[in-house]
């Protein structure tokens, strides 16, 4: 009964999600600062309703394939890697101009922050392999009363895929420490970059603790829910960390004499 209610609630959420995503797209299409449409915002906002529709299709495939782990993995990664990423980037870009990118930190720190995003994406994908290999999806009962286990991954054993997930996690943690130290001892780093650096560092530590508690307690389902939810939150803040290391200034505006004058912005107060 509980599983049925969860599934039904999940389907009901599609309707407000499609409505909100559609309204966001319409707002970005109609938004014309200085009489010029922001095409970057239009394209980013278009991903949202299209992504939600694709999610509904993939969700149907998950049900029809009886929780095939490949379909479940795609279902989760589509949310995190496409829909959520587009929403986070859209939110950040909406506060910026449409001009060229201006770096707010050293180039090496920006590259390390970008690498942190990439490794986190690999970490999320590895997490779906662990879930798809483990015994957490439950069983079904056929017409004869026999228990039938749902499909599972068979690339590696649960211990091996968990070790792979943990190894990526340790590398991610070391990289986060390096990024944080680099930001902390570099002059002129924006306050928001330091804030997101702190959150990312603490979040990765919490994720590691939850992961090990899961493993040594034989993967209780409640902790899996917490681990997955906090991983999505961590993904948001690591994206924000990278976005906080750069900004886009408004394009130059034409004056009455025909010369271009760039629009100035008040710089953010730095940490040093």
Ranges of residues in the chain whose predicted pLDDT is under 50: 255-261, 263-272
User: 191, 195, 188: which is closest to 104 by C-alpha?
Assistant: 188
Q: What is the pLDDT of residue 14?
A: 79
Q: Where are the alpha helices (DSSP H) in the chain?
A: 2-30, 39-64, 69-78, 85-94, 107-133, 158-184, 191-216, 221-243
Query: For residues 124 and 79, what is the distance between their CA atoms, to the nearest angstrom?
Result: 11
Q: What is the pLDDT of residue 267?
A: 43
Is 123 within 8 Å of 168 (Cβ atoms)? yes
Is 231 within 8 Å of 103 (Cβ atoms)? no
Q: What is the pLDDT of residue 261?
A: 46
Question: How many CB atoms neighbour CB 262 within 10 A?
Answer: 12
Query: For residues 133 and 154, what is the distance between their CA atoms, to the nearest angstrom?
Result: 7
User: 107, 103, 111, 151: which is closest to 131 by C-alpha?
Assistant: 151
Query: For residues 213 and 208, what is the distance between their CA atoms, to the nearest angstrom?
Result: 9
Kindly compute the dihedral angle of the four CA atoms of residues 95, 97, 103, 104, in this order, to the nearest 10 degrees.
Answer: -40
Joined tokens for residue 85: 């990423």
Q: What is the pLDDT of residue 263?
A: 46
- Report pTM: 0.84
Q: What is the pLDDT of residue 44?
A: 93
Q: What is the pLDDT of residue 164?
A: 94
Joined tokens for residue 106: 């050293």
Q: In 3-state terms, what secondary structure has residue 257?
A: coil
């Amino acid at each position: 009964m509980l599983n049925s209610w969860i599934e039904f609630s999940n389907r009901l959420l599609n309707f407000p999600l499609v409505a909100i995503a559609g309204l966001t797209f319409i707002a970005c299409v109609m938004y014309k600062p200085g009489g010029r449409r922001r095409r970057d915002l239009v394209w980013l906002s278009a991903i949202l309703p299209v992504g939600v529709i694709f999610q509904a299709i993939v969700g149907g495939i998950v049900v029809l394939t009886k929780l095939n782990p490949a379909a479940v993995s795609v279902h989760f990664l589509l949310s995190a890697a496409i829909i959520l990423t587009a929403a986070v980037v859209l939110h950040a870009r909406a506060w910026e101009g449409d001009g060229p990118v201006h770096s707010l930190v050293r180039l090496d720190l920006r590259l390390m922050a970008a690498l942190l995003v990439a490794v986190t994406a690999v970490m999320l994908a590895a997490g779906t392999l662990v879930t798809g290999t483990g015994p957490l999806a439950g069983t079904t009962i056929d017409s004869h009363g026999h228990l039938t286990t749902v499909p599972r991954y068979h690339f590696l054993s649960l211990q091996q895929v968990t070790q792979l997930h943990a190894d990526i996690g340790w590398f991610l943690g070391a990289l986060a420490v390096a990024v944080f130290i680099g930001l902390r001892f570099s002059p002129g780093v924006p306050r928001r970059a330091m804030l997101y650096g702190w959150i990312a560092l603490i979040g990765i530590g919490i994720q590691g603790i939850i992961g090990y508690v899961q493993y040594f307690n034989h993967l209780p389902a409640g902790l899996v829910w917490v681990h997955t939810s906090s991983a999505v939150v961590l993904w948001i803040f690591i994206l924000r960390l990278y976005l906080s290391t750069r900004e886009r200034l408004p394009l130059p505006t034409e004056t009455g004499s025909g010369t271009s004058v760039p629009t100035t912005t008040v710089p953010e107060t730095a940490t040093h």
